[in-house]
Structure 1
Amino acid sequence: MSNRKIIDSLHELIQINQEGEKGYKEASENINSEELKTILYRLSQQRALFRGELEEVLHKDYRDSADVQDSLASKVHRTWIDFKKSFGSNDDEAILTECERGEEHAIQKYTEVLDGRLPNYIEEIVNQQLGLIRGSLSQIREFKHEADQV
């Protein structure tokens, strides 16, 4: 894979994590359950760490900055959470549904980048992060199921 494609892939993953960090932080501020507030905030911090790991590789090995902008999709996603809040339908299940959708999107993007052409050390970092994102998705689905039962 050319350096340009590696850099573009890293930018894409950095953006996904930037969006996840902001989305989880906002979700943690809008959810009713105190337990979920803590968990979602921790997921926001985790995404900041993921972003930092990828930015370090990008800067150190490719001498590239990691200045990425929010995508339109991420702004719409966070706006949806704000929309739910403003109309009083800010229930935990609805917020968890948005978190689930965000995780599915992240998994899709991570999987697309893992095509066997990244340098091994970057692929290892990406695979580790992907595994944790999949774990987060499972956890969110469990919480959503519990919220659905109430």
Structure 2
Amino acid sequence: MTYNEEVSKKLNDLLTRNYDAAAGYGLASEKVRSRELKHFFTLQEQERYKFGHELKKEISYYGETPDDGTSWQGDTHHAWMNIKSTLLSNNEEVILEEVVRGERTAVKEYNSIIMETTLPPSTKNMIAAHRNNILNALTRVYTEIEIAS
């Protein structure tokens, strides 16, 4: 596998993760009653969609083809989130906990790629900015969980 293919594969993994997160946030915004949470989830959905576009551009820069669509795991997670929230009367705390679980996984994936020493600084900086925004969102979700408790 060439360097460009290897980097693009890692970026495509993040791209799929962001498709999954955007879909998850869209579902979460439909399930909560709180206007504040709906707004927050909608903003996060848009931000993750923006991350996806940035990653697509970066993948194309490496001469590779960006992936399309969500992952099977993401689709399964969203289905589970839908079933779980429906069974629990769309309990906002449960939805927030599912968001935390997904975002923790995203941060781990971003950190893993950031640790890759062969990435050019521009790519590493973009990925670090995404990760930092996800960490900020995660902090906000933790705050919402404390409020809901």
TM-score of the superposed pair, with normalisation by structure 1? 0.92
What amino acid sits opposite 2:40 in the alignment?
I
Question: For the aligned residues, what is the CA RMSD?
Answer: 1.4
Deviations 1:88-136 (A, max 9, x none): 4311000000000110010011011112221111001001111111111
What amino acid sits opposite 1:70 in the alignment?
T
Provide structure 2 residue ranges, at least 5 long, that are not aligned to the other structure.
none
**2:99 partner SS:** helix
1:46-85 equivalence runs, <5 A: 46-59=47-60, 61-85=61-85
Partners of 2:86 and 2:127 in 1: CA distance? 36
Segment of structure 1 superposing worse, 84-93 or 137-146:
84-93
After superposing on structure 2, the runs of 4+ consecutive aligned residues of structure 1 that deviate more than 4 Å are none
What corresponds to 2:131 in structure 1? 130
What corresponds to 2:5 in structure 1? 4
Deviations 1:29-69 (A, max 9, x none): 1112111001001000000001101101111x122221234
1:112-131 equivalence runs, <5 A: 112-114=112-114, 115-131=116-132
Mapped contact 2:19–2:52 kept (Cα < 8 A): yes
Partners of 2:110 and 2:94 in 1: CA distance? 25
What corresponds to 2:31 in structure 1? 30
Provide structure 1 residue ranges, at least 5 long, that are not aligned to the other structure.
none
Size of the aligned set, in residue pairs, is: 147
What amino acid sits opposite 1:24 in the alignment?
Y
The alignment status of 1:102 with 2:117, answered yes or no, reads no
**2:67 partner SS:** coil
Q: Post-superposition shift, 1:82?
A: 1.3
Partners of 2:140 and 2:117 in 1: CA distance? 28
Mapped contact 1:11–1:68 kept (Cα < 8 A): no
